[in-house]
Structure 1
Amino acid sequence: MRKAKGLLNALLVLPFLLPSVVVAEEIGEVSTVFKWLGSNDKIVVEAFDDPKVEGVTCYLSRAKTGGVKGSLGLAEDRAEASIACRQVGPVRFRDELEEGEEVFRERTSLVFKTMQVVRFFDEKRNTLVYLVYSDRIIEGSPQNAVTAIPILPWPDQR
């Protein structure tokens, strides 16, 4: 029993010790549900650059729960998210890529739920593929979104 309690405590602390892979920049937001107390429910649009692939920016839209719990960071956000990644400059690989490598992670509840973006490289088509999904320690969600970027020469590279 003592070991199980220690393991549970470690699981509760672990998400706070793991740093986010990349920090997203908020681009904008729209309110979706008015709340009398606390912030409104909203959809947030954020952008982040792939840490290993120069010239690629991804845009995420996701729901953020408002109200008192949301304002205090205690609410659980919905699992739905949308992603669109684009080539914004010459593509250069800063490091070797790993299949299914996590490039972005954000907590969507106080402890147990996260939204993640992972990257795949489709070598046959010379295309980067990004997948966003949400998971929980106990039970994940099958809801996901995908985007793909064919790696093309940038105009000033020709």
Structure 2
Amino acid sequence: MRSWILGAALALGALPVAAETVGKVGVDWVGNDIVIEAIEDPKVAGVTCHVAYFDRSLFDRISNGNWFEDPSNASIACRQTGPISLGAIAKGPKGETVFSESRSLIFKSLKVTRIFDEAHQTLIYLTHATEVTQGSAKMSISTVPLYGAK
């Protein structure tokens, strides 16, 4: 029984972090908003990313008929917010997911992926949507230079 609990705790610890909503700006009279969330990188102390995305209102969902889906548009900005200390990060060209949030009932997610550019000592943060059947070309990147971080 204990090994199951330990395994579940380790698996949950490996999940991407949650975001904290830090701002919400109304963009029209039907209640659509731009939401801004702060995401602290769980494996790189001292780096915080802010992601902005469009959040559809209930009225917009009902009137347009595509109830379960939000647009894939998102923007990201990442900055050093304290002393940077690299943890055990993925160093391959595919990087690793830092954050993932569902953007439809089942098939679409908004993700933040971190890629380590070792040659230039820079962390690249990419926000993008993933879908089961169709990828999206909508993306945004931000970089954080390491300047001799640990």
Q: TM-score range by the shorter chain?
A: 0.7 to 0.9
What are the within-5 Å matches in structure 2 for residues 21-60 of structure 1? 21-35=16-30, 40-60=31-51
- CA shift for structure 1 position 121: 0.8
Q: Does 1:140 align with 2:131?
A: no
Q: Does 1:128 align with 2:123?
A: yes
Q: What is aligned with 1:95?
A: 88
Runs of at least 5 residues in structure 2 that lack an aligned partner in the other structure = 1-11
Q: Percent identity?
A: 38
Name segments (4+ residues, structure 1) moved above 4 Å. 68-71
Within the candidate set 61, 64, 77, 2:70 is matched to 77
Cα displacement string for residues 101-145 of structure 1 (whole angstroms, at most 9, x for unaligned residues): 011100011111101111111111110001110121111111100
CA spacing shift, 1:20–1:69, aligned 2, 3 Å: farther
> SS of the residue aligned with 1:124?
helix
Q: 1:146 corresponds to which letter in structure 2?
A: I
- Matched residue pairs, number? 132
Cα displacement string for residues 22-70 of structure 1 (whole angstroms, at most 9, x for unaligned residues): 10000111111222xxxx1110000010111011000000000112575
Q: Does 1:108 align with 2:103?
A: yes
2:32 and 2:60 in contact (8 A); partners too? no
Q: What is aligned with 1:65?
A: 56
Once the two structures are overlaid, the 10-residue window that deviates more, 92-101 or 123-132, is 92-101
Q: What is aligned with 1:117?
A: 112
1:79 and 1:115 in contact (8 A); partners too? yes
Distance 2:15 2:71 in 1: 19
Q: TM-score, structure 1 length as denominator?
A: 0.76
Q: TM-score, structure 2 length as denominator?
A: 0.79
CA spacing shift, 1:124–1:153, aligned 2, 3 Å: closer
Q: 1:48 corresponds to which letter in structure 2?
A: I
> SS of the residue aligned with 2:119?
helix
Distance 1:28 1:80 in 2: 17
